[in-house]
Structure 1
Amino acid sequence: MKTAQTIALVLIIFGFAAAEIWSERYKTFKATADDGKLELFMFVALLALIQPVIFALTGAAAQRAYPEYANAWAHLPIWAMVAILLVGDDLTQYLWHRASHTPLLWPLHRAHHSAHYMSVRMTYRNNFFYYAMMPGIWIAGVLTYLGLGNVYLVYLVVKLMVIMGAHCAVPWDAPLYRIKALRPIMWVVERTISTPATHWAHHAMSNKDGIGHYKGNFGNLLFLWDVLFGTAHITRQYPPQVGLRDDQLFGKERWFTELFYPLVRSKRQHSALVPQGKIYDEDAPTLEQGT
């Protein structure tokens, strides 16, 4: 099962990457060397270090404290396991993502928004501690110990397909909105899962055009959480610019600062990556803390 999952993940990643190459959207990225280092390091660190270590720690702790509960939920029907994962992993990630747009946790998430392009390559672009502290990964480790491991592997493949599709430089939903017969279906789809239109809006540089919504649209797999909790903004349009205005004004942060803050701190004049740091919010009359 693990081998099949790995093959599926590789095919998904290369499939979306091939779409970006074929469409030549990659030529518009103008990514810097720092962008590449940040994205590559975090992708490898998440897959090869953070998630395996968390799963090992949770498994060992659960085995020591509650050995009688190993595979205790393995008898549950698949639909129940999926429901548990959607709450334990995806809902908690929605809440973690939403909390990461507050002044306290924004420094751990701003690296994801500092990309000035949308692409599969920046799907897991984040601060190292953003993932190390993510509740959903720790909960998933416990759920795997309880017997949800095989279903979790399939669940991750589906989730990755949705998330990468939402970040891909080629918006798969755009042509579907233009087909009249699909409008009722797309109405349901865009309120159920994350799509390029809703997620690109979350990465918008500005909210002023009515398309951008960087203070909402937090969903990862399910956009339904945004609908339920009042943070959804649906326009079926795509923002003209993504990224951070403060990077435009003051210059981009170094990749290792974005990756390892608070162990490494910014030397920029205006930055969120320093204690009590402030970053530019164009919706506020002055420099405001957080976004």
Structure 2
Amino acid sequence: MSNIQNLLLISLLVGFVLLEYALGRVKTFKTGKGDTVIDLLSMVLLAGLTQPFIFFVVATFGDFAFPEYRNALAALPWYAMAAILLIGDDMTQYWWHRVSHSPLLWPLHRAHHSPQYMSARIIYRNNFFYYLCMPGLWISGILIYLGFAEVYLVYIVVKLAVITGAHSAVKWDAPLYRIKALQPLMWLVQRTVSTPSTHYAHHAMYDNDGIGHYRGNFGNLLFFWDVLFGTAHITQQFPSEVGLRDDQLFGRERWWVQLFYPLFKSQRTHSALVPGGKPYEEPAAS
């Protein structure tokens, strides 16, 4: 299953990236030293190491301690499995993402917000330990052990398509907002799944322009979790800049520090990637 999933992931990613190139979006990327390394290595680590490791550990422990439960829920209808996955994987990822914006866990998520560009290639750009500790991956491993493997494969492809589209430099939703006949449909879409407009707002460099909202819009597949839990900011506009203000002020963090903190620590003047470091906040206007 992992091989099929990775093949589908690569196909989705390559398709979106090629479209970004074809439409000339890549020319606008403000890439810095190490950005390409982080984008590629974080994806390779997740697909080739972290996720297989988690699923292997869960299956091995299950066969050792609870062998009678392997495929115990395989008879459930697909829609019941899908609903359980939405809660066990996607809703828990919403909460993991949300708490990762706290000072304690921000170092594990900071790399995802450091690029000063939006692109399909940043969907899994996170610290190595961010995914290793993600509850949703461990829960997914348990559900697969219980018999969700086939439904999970379909579910994860749908989820990857949505989140890749939400991060892509191809703002697929932008022209649709201008079509009057589609306004009711887009009203529903924006409140159901993640779209470029709502997710770009989460990556905005500033949140004082009525567009940026990096203290909300945490949803991955379903934006509905933001609506339900009161963190939604729905906009049909896009921020002028994305990325982190402290990188502009103090210089970008080294790629290996972003990926492997706390094994490596920052040497920067101001940084969240040191013991006791905190996310940067702009001084209040006097």
Normalising TM by the smaller chain, what interval?
Answer: over 0.9
In the alignment, structure 2 segments of 5+ residues that lack a partner are none
RMSD of aligned Cα (Å): 1.4
Counterpart amino acid of residue 123 in structure 2: T
Counterpart amino acid of residue 275 in structure 1: P
How does 1:74-93 map onto structure 2 within 5 Å?
74-93=74-93
Shift of 1:10: 2.9
How does 1:146-225 map onto structure 2 within 5 Å?
146-225=146-225
Alpha carbons 1:101, 1:215 under 8 Å: kept:
yes
Q: Secondary structure at the match of 1:109?
A: helix
Provide the rounded CA distance (Å) in 2 between the counterparts of 1:201 and 1:124.
18
Residues 116-166 of structure 1 show CA distances to partners (whole Å, capped at 9, x for unaligned) of: 000011111110000110000000000000000111011110000000000
Counterpart amino acid of residue 95 in structure 1: W
Q: Which residue in the other structure is 1:47 paired with?
A: 47
In the alignment, structure 1 segments of 5+ residues that lack a partner are 287-291
Shift of 1:18: 1.6
Shift of 1:11: 2.6
Residues 196-245 of structure 1 show CA distances to partners (whole Å, capped at 9, x for unaligned) of: 00000000000110000000000000000000000000011100000000
Counterpart amino acid of residue 53 in structure 1: F
Change (3 A) 1:91 1:202: same
Q: Which residue in the other structure is 1:25 paired with?
A: 25
Shift of 1:5: 4.1
Change (3 A) 1:63 1:215: same
TM-score, normalised by the number of residues in structure 2:
0.97
Shift of 1:32: 2.4
Residues 83-129 of structure 1 show CA distances to partners (whole Å, capped at 9, x for unaligned) of: 00000000000000000000110010000000100001111111000
Shift of 1:22: 1.1
Counterpart amino acid of residue 259 in structure 2: L
Provide the rounded CA distance (Å) in 2 between the counterparts of 1:172 and 1:15.
14
Q: Which residue in the other structure is 2:278 paired with?
A: 278
Question: Percent identity among equivalent residues?
Answer: 63
Alpha carbons 2:6, 2:47 under 8 Å: kept:
no
Provide the rounded CA distance (Å) in 1 between the counterparts of 2:6 and 2:41.
19
Alpha carbons 1:5, 1:154 under 8 Å: kept:
no
Shift of 1:38: 1.0
Matched, 1:128 2:135: no
Shift of 1:283: 6.3
Shift of 1:279: 3.7
Change (3 A) 1:283 1:184: farther
Q: Secondary structure at the match of 1:124?
A: coil
Shift of 1:280: 2.2
After superposing on structure 2, the runs of 4+ consecutive aligned residues of structure 1 that deviate more than 6 Å are none
Counterpart amino acid of residue 27 in structure 1: K
Provide the rounded CA distance (Å) in 2 between the counterparts of 1:166 and 1:250.
29
Provide the rounded CA distance (Å) in 1 between the counterparts of 2:253 and 2:4.
38
Alpha carbons 1:257, 1:264 under 8 Å: kept:
yes
Alpha carbons 2:166, 2:196 under 8 Å: kept:
yes
Shift of 1:50: 0.2
Provide the rounded CA distance (Å) in 2 between the counterparts of 1:3 and 1:125.
21
Counterpart amino acid of residue 181 in structure 1: A
Provide the rounded CA distance (Å) in 2 between the counterparts of 1:242 and 1:208.
13
Provide the rounded CA distance (Å) in 2 between the counterparts of 1:278 and 1:260.
17
Alpha carbons 1:114, 1:244 under 8 Å: kept:
yes
